[in-house]
Structure 1
């Protein structure tokens, strides 16, 4: 009776605590407005001017390895490399020198659904670097000699990713989950594709995917919105404005399966466990983010262990089951992956490791407490806000948000949405995706003791008699 009364009291007290936290946070987050203008050709220009002396500007593009075929897999990443080798106006060395003379930094990345080219410069150099970025995107030469020289560079990058077992684990989780679908392909492509991608492949990819309606120009820091709109209209005037180049996406079907890569000589064993997650626009987006925070992360080299808030981390630490672990919640336009990445040198207790991991994942569906949810909400909001403490991170957030949601969520709205998530919201979201659902399992290393798939599948539900 005392226990029940205590639970009711704690649950009731958690609600005003959440409201207080949301109010205080929203008040403290009043800051620069994110403005967006759409040009006649469909190009969107988004800015956040905080008055600083530096600026981060770039172009985020709604394309990536998902828009490749099995034959051209890797072309988006290859394009990123050769774009910096020279345009019709600039050679590769002169491009680098121009950026260095500004005191700036130029970079790019390719993901499964998004690509970005961006720069950090002094605010006075924004017009110059915008012209440079447009030159890269519209006028790169993609010369055969540069394509040939980059093959060995990308091959070495592929080898380094395969040597990074966490990256390799992530790629294998995608391969197992998204079989016969572009999301299951790697971003770099296979070694065979790297050796066969041609200038024609790159030009066709640019023609089909680098169009105005799929691009967002972003500026953060000392950036005047109206000025950036004017500059973008000028330097991107030659950008194709075709609005129907984006192919209709086929939603993948998550397949319960496993991949095992056994190597008994490896000092550590890497285990990945995943279920179907949610898309960027799913109503369960924030509940699943909170679920990820509840599971948490932990590393043996960092203080904490038995005293951290994550119950899974405490189980792993006390029983010495892992060296490190991290929950993940990867979201795409129409699907996602939710799960755990675990690293251990205790290869004789892989059975216990998976039991503990699945116990806590199933508990998300049935038995999480209001206190856990409130704590996870605060931890999630803190991590998001900490990720917005520089112009580069703000620009990244704007670009990814506009491509994913169509707009950037103001911090106050983000706080309100997260604060409104309830215990039942998290339970329902996890019940739909985890409870009695076929998992994806990947093991790398000394995995002789890893339970067979049928046992792992059965552990996704608790049987009550």
Structure 2
């Protein structure tokens, strides 16, 4: 019996799309200060992460590089298990244990099948809380812990955190202070690398969203593999000012109490001044209100897509979940974050551009700097 084939352009009217199941976050703060958060996504694979406020910002002049040592030492023997035992135990069930670090935190994460976390958390506990060092007094960097997981019982996670991670605390670090400055390193060759920045905004704030939209408006790199960045405002403006080859992109870095926003430029040495001035002119144009509704919509759409795609993987979701809760003590759902991005107005973006144009700047450059302006000339 032949079945009638409907045109592909016709909508399916016989079946309504199923609503996506709600994935509520459970979170709690234990008396010790430990934060525990879990998200049930009904996946056959579980992911547990221990977030520690032990990034490079907590280092002092006496222990510079200790975060790097902690990360590299994560695959060595611990007080409770040897490196061989940890490796063999994980490989036997197809699990993996990894460590990554950023400016503000370290993340120890365990990936395994849903039925395995109970017998594998021993390794996560040892790697996180019981490393072995000869000069242990130089490695007292562990601050506040946060246990985050996907696909694990919240009650079990609370018990795990309270039993093994509640006693590791530290003094913390003072708030960041932006001071500006300039660094110029002269070298040979025909290129100049220049970075120009101002103080940005703290993560999760309205101002941070405005800076992120401004970043997409100016240009963050090619959106086509092996393509050019010709559609960005920076590229268009610099191309009109000079015929020399260049590369320019905007960046926005947000942290728990401050941030950085700016532009990064690579140009030929003899056209460095013209390229940097042309990049500054593009931010000044936004500061003066030369911003169309189409430009604003495009920039916000790019930011929304970048954010939502970062949550597609379990790694991205776990990192977003942990970073939010560790920095602010709360978690904003994707719906809340997307609404905050969509609510950014042209006035917010103009205000962010004005801050870059008028505030104290930081500049670092490297290369043949004969034709590279100083920060006070911009």
User: 1:277, CA displacement in angstroms?
Assistant: 0.7
Of 230, 250, 269 in structure 1, the residue corresponding to residue 159 of structure 2 is 230
Q: In the TM superposition, what are the counterparts of 1:242-261 in structure 2 within 5 Å?
A: 245-247=170-172, 249-255=174-180, 257-261=181-185
Q: Are the counterparts in 2 of residues 131 and 235 from structure 1 also a CA contact under 8 Å?
A: no
Superposed displacement of residue 378, structure 1: 1.0
Q: What residue is the counterpart of 1:280 in the other structure?
A: 203
Contact kept, 8 Å, 1:321 with 1:352, in 2: the verdict is no
Q: Is the 8 A contact 1:58 1:116 kept in 2?
A: yes
Displacement of 1:116: 1.3
Deviations 1:145-204 (A, max 9, x none): xxxxxxxxxxxxxxxxxxxxxxxxxxxxxxxxxxxxxxxxxxxxxxxxxxxxx43211x3
Q: Evaluate the alpha carbon distance shift between residue 140 and residue 248 of structure 1 in structure 2; reply closer, same or farther with a 3 A threshold.
A: closer
Offset of 1:228 from its aligned partner?
2.6
Give distance in 1, aligned partners of 2:145 and 2:121.
14
Give the paired residue count: 358
- Residue 217 of structure 1: which of 147, 160, 165 is its match? 147
Residue pairs, 1:30-429, within 5 angstroms: 31-142=22-133, 144=134, 198-202=135-139, 204-206=140-142, 209=143, 214-220=144-150, 222-236=151-165, 239-240=166-167, 245-247=170-172, 249-255=174-180, 257-265=181-189, 268-299=191-222, 302-306=226-230, 308=231, 310-316=232-238, 319=242, 321-344=244-267, 346-367=268-289, 368-429=291-352
| Residues in 2 aligned to 1:415 and 1:369: alpha-carbon distance in whole angstroms | 21
Q: Deviations over 1:376-435 (max 9, x none)?
A: 11110100000011111111110111112222211111121111111011112332x213
Shift of 1:81: 2.2
Gaps of 5+ in 1: 1-26, 145-197, 457-465
Of Structure 1 and Structure 2, the greater helix share is in 1
- Give a deviation string over 1:343-366, Cα, whole Å, max 9, x none: 33x222111210111011222322
Q: Distance in 1 between matches of 2:372 and 2:19?
A: 48
TM-score (norm 1): 0.71
- For residues 77 and 164 of structure 2, the distance between their equivalents in structure 1, rounded to whole angstroms, comes to 18
Give the 5 Å matches for 1:434-449: 434-449=356-371
Distance of aligned partners of 1:93 and 1:29 in 2 relative to their CA distance in 1, 3 Å threshold: same
Give the SS at the match of 2:221.
strand
Q: Give distance in 1, aligned partners of 2:81 and 2:239.
A: 55
Cα distance 1:447–1:296, how it changes in 2: closer, same or farther (>3 A)?
A: same
- Is 267-276 or 398-407 further displaced after alignment? 267-276
Residue ranges of structure 2 left out of the alignment (5+ in a row) = 1-17
Q: Please, what TM-score do these two structures have when normalized by structure 2? A: 0.86
- In 2, Cα distance between equivalents of 1:301 and 1:72: 41
Indicate the SS of the match to 1:76. Answer: helix
CA-based RMSD of the aligned residues comes to 2.5
